Structure 1
């Protein structure tokens, strides 16, 4: 037996869960806002926000959300615009629409409460098997397997799963490995601990294997395969698209916005009118554009898309002079200077653009009075 094998044999006498929980008590995260208290509603919102979003980014959004929608009935009774406004900037906006829809369903089907079983939870929009188990384990303290991104990485290394973790074969293996490692009790702490292990120690790059409480039987470490696991996702072609955005202002300082369709990019959000070319606004709104109207272009990356955004600034005398659809409305531009939650839900690049223009106009007016 090699010295490395001896160390691994000696280090795995305690169950995986026991070693992990002992580490978590000393080094884990105990003061996350959704942990105090761990109600089903708070856990649910946090789990949806944390999908493909880091904890540091989620915390301020979660806190603002709970101020506005402190309980499920508050969320169900809110307008979708209000919900999307409080989500604006987190991306993947279907998550917010599903939260709102699920809350409405809970009011109708479950007396204003989240259901208590994973099976019932998975019947709600936006809740899959892992999220359902996370809600149950953390709010009811029941051990249940979860497979968020951090946990998949931990298990792919600890069990030395060679396939890409999103594949059907890998998912089946990872669920079985997650079930095998569950403790008999302390479900809430264990779920947080295994997620923390991936976030703090078993990180994507430069994992701190020497600090890992379960390195004694980590098969990837024994095989010197930590740095190549998990296997990367097969490459996906990034599609590029050029979009012209019309920033149309009237004399009263209002900007024209339109609500996007419920499906697709930025579904359900308010945004600027779009066209494939600057001339397209002449056909749709009767606005004639010249070169002086073009602002500096900017890029925005989505998961599989690269958007080249070309803002076009134009002015009109009165809102009534512009052909508008039922999905369009005028909003005070100055309200976008602060980027507060009272503004309508906007895609991040649109919110940033309007904030810049609103601040520039405010600075120009201030300079003109000095």
Structure 2
């Protein structure tokens, strides 16, 4: 693709973005004169990892209302942040969120650094997030490549290599479009195009401002891109969750170990998740089986059988919480099991 073709595609996308940009709670209007608060850009990018904009938006609004600045977030209690994160998944992100906020507050006087290189030094900030904050918040020409951008590039250039091995080439191709001209709007325009027009299934090629230069569109089969290697079958695990109620509207929870899946989060008392875990109630009580819920994690699926009993155990490891509050604070898998038990 020639420099003039790149320039024409860039111009067409920016014109489309000016007219069609999504309204998102973390975004300002298109244009060189506007810049988004880096705290809001960083927060949104962390939340949007593995999460849709529709799902992330209410969490973003709640977080920024409760903790309006990075220093406010840095001063928050770990348990409060983890509870507020419940339902967003990938809970290591919540721990990284706090670690990064405290680093910015303590080592940078509450001000985010403004270059990719400096942003990469922050805890929990990888190459994509550093590029996104540098470009969107500070107007730095950076190569911001997420799944939407990979899809657009794979179709524009009809890249035959399969994901994930194609990623270096897709990033190189995306880099051809990086420019000092409107560096903040360019990646946001590409993301909007991928989310709204160049969709994974049923792309709206008739509405695409880049179809005139799209190799996959000219071939007549854009949906077949990006090429993907066959996924391995997801393993399946089994487990038990024990819901102990005190008869006064409270339920016993535990804090999970900091390391590992759902680390540092509140959870239900339960067994290990494996092939065929033994039924081993943790306390003497009149346990009743309440049913089994299914939950799908990234790397495995889980059948979790809930058991419920009423009683009281004086154990400092237990956190007794109002049932309604527990339903708001637990990660999705435990909330589903608790709902089954309470039903």
| TM norm. shorter chain > 0.5 | yes
1:16 aligned to 9, 18, 25, which one?
A: 9
Distance (Å, rounded) in 2 between the aligned partners of 1:356 and 1:336: 13
- 8 Å contact kept, 2:291–2:340: no
Alignment of 1:295 onto 2:290: yes
Aligned residue for 2:100? 102
Following TM superposition, by how much is the alpha carbon of 1:226 offset from its aligned partner in structure 2, in angstroms?
1.2
2:125 aligned to 118, 124, 127, which one?
A: 127
Following TM superposition, by how much is the alpha carbon of 1:250 offset from its aligned partner in structure 2, in angstroms?
1.6
Distance (Å, rounded) in 1 between the aligned partners of 2:143 and 2:215: 20
Length-normalised TM-score, structure 2: 0.90
Following TM superposition, by how much is the alpha carbon of 1:357 offset from its aligned partner in structure 2, in angstroms?
5.4
- 8 Å contact kept, 1:237–1:304: no
- 8 Å contact kept, 1:164–1:230: yes
Length-normalised TM-score, structure 1: 0.84
Q: How does 1:78-227 map to 2 (within 5 A)?
A: 78-167=76-165, 170-227=166-223
Distance (Å, rounded) in 2 between the aligned partners of 1:130 and 1:146: 6
Distance (Å, rounded) in 2 between the aligned partners of 1:287 and 1:160: 63
Normalized per residue, which structure has more helix?
Answer: 1
Q: How does 1:220-235 map to 2 (within 5 A)?
A: 220-235=216-231
- 8 Å contact kept, 1:269–1:346: yes
Give the length in aligned residue pairs. Answer: 332
Distance (Å, rounded) in 2 between the aligned partners of 1:273 and 1:27: 48
- 8 Å contact kept, 1:298–1:309: yes
> What secondary structure, in the 3-state scheme, does the structure 2 residue paired with 1:57 have?
helix
Following TM superposition, by how much is the alpha carbon of 1:22 offset from its aligned partner in structure 2, in angstroms?
0.7
State the Cα RMSD in Å. Answer: 2.2
| Cα deviation code 1:234-287 (max 9, x no counterpart) | 312311111110000123332111111122221111111112556312xxx332
Aligned residue for 1:240? 236
Distance (Å, rounded) in 1 between the aligned partners of 2:129 and 2:319: 37
> What secondary structure, in the 3-state scheme, does the structure 1 residue paired with 2:184 have?
helix
Aligned residue for 1:271? 267
1:328 aligned to 294, 318, 325, which one?
A: 318
2:301 aligned to 298, 306, 327, which one?
A: 306
- 8 Å contact kept, 2:164–2:228: no
Could you list the runs of 5+ residues in structure 2 that have no partner in the other structure? 29-34
Following TM superposition, by how much is the alpha carbon of 1:356 offset from its aligned partner in structure 2, in angstroms?
6.1
Deviates more, 1:150-159 or 1:219-228: 219-228
| Cα deviation code 1:9-47 (max 9, x no counterpart) | 9x9585221110011111221x21111471000000001
| Cα deviation code 1:321-361 (max 9, x no counterpart) | xxx3x543222224346x3xxxxx42113224435656x5x
Following TM superposition, by how much is the alpha carbon of 1:92 offset from its aligned partner in structure 2, in angstroms?
0.7
